[in-house]
Amino acid sequence: MSKVFIGVGHGGSDPGAVGNGMRESDVNLEMALAMKAELERHGVTVGISRTRDEDDRLAEEIRECNAFAPDLAVEVHNNSGGGDGFECYINGHDRIARQLAERIEEEVKQIGQNSRGVKVSTRLGWVNRVKAPAVLCEGFFLDSQDSAAADTAAKRGRFGQAYARGVLAQLGVQTQQTAQSPEREKVRKRFSLDESTMGFLDTYRFAQALYQRLAETK
């Protein structure tokens, strides 16, 4: 069974980038959890550096990742500085990491986000000290108009799902569509939810049980 480790940038006393009412540490976590759920839905064993807001030092993330011994490793970040678009960093020496970065990039472009490209870094600890093929994703800029790409939970979930699809493509796992149950359709109509929001809810591990409960609620 394939193993993937997700690093969740910042957290606790370190919020990371801040802009347009969002903290990077919170946004990173939302994307990472959506990614984790989608990978697990496809049978991938997933390790993750944190599942709530807490101090999450990079050195500890790297130690946890190497101890987990994953097949692939993805660090989730978002950007600041007034720019625009997604970008993905690799160390430049790992062919598999470059393939993974390019596959994630393609999935991100499919959800409507432009890309600044795959870039090489000799400084970033994650891509240079993790032993597995590793990439670091910067999804969007919090402090510019680019924030509109991820200004709702549903949009942030779509980023996480896109990252997961890129990972699945690298692993050679075919993406499975979520079953469109009657309860799901009833919930969508009852609460007037669009498909992007439903897609985010679909990543929840117990989505069908949630749909059934909401459908039965008076």
Which tens digits make up the pLDDT trace of 134-193?
999 999 999 999 999 999 998 999 999 999 999 999 999 988 766 567 788 888 888 888
- pLDDT tens digits for range 38-58: 999 999 999 999 999 999 999
Name which of 14-23, 112-121, 126-135, 182-191 the model is least confident about: 182-191
| pLDDT higher than threshold 90 for residue 17 | yes
Given pLDDT bands bounded at 50, 70 and 90, which one contains residue 74?
very high
Based on the residue annotation, tell me whether 195 is a catalytic residue of this protein: no
CA–CA dist 22, 20 (Å, integer):
6
User: Nearest CA to 149 among 11, 19, 15?
Assistant: 19
pTM of the predicted protein model: 0.84
pLDDT score of 44 = 97
Residue for token pair 């980023």: 159
Angstrom distance (rounded) from CA 134 to CA 86 = 17
* Of 153 and 75, the one with more pLDDT: 75
Q: Are 12 and 33 in contact (CB under 8 A)?
A: no
- Residue 205 pLDDT: 60
Sign of torsion over alpha carbons 68, 73, 78, 79: positive
pLDDT tier, 197 (very low <50, low <70, confident <90, very high otherwise): confident
Backbone angles phi, psi at 16, to 5 degrees: 70, -150
Is 136 or 196 the better-scoring residue by pLDDT?
136
- The active-site residue, picked from 87, 138, 183, 185, is 138
Contact present, 138 and 78 (Cβ < 8 Å) = yes
The tally of CA atoms less than 13 A away on the side-chain side of residue 21 is: 5
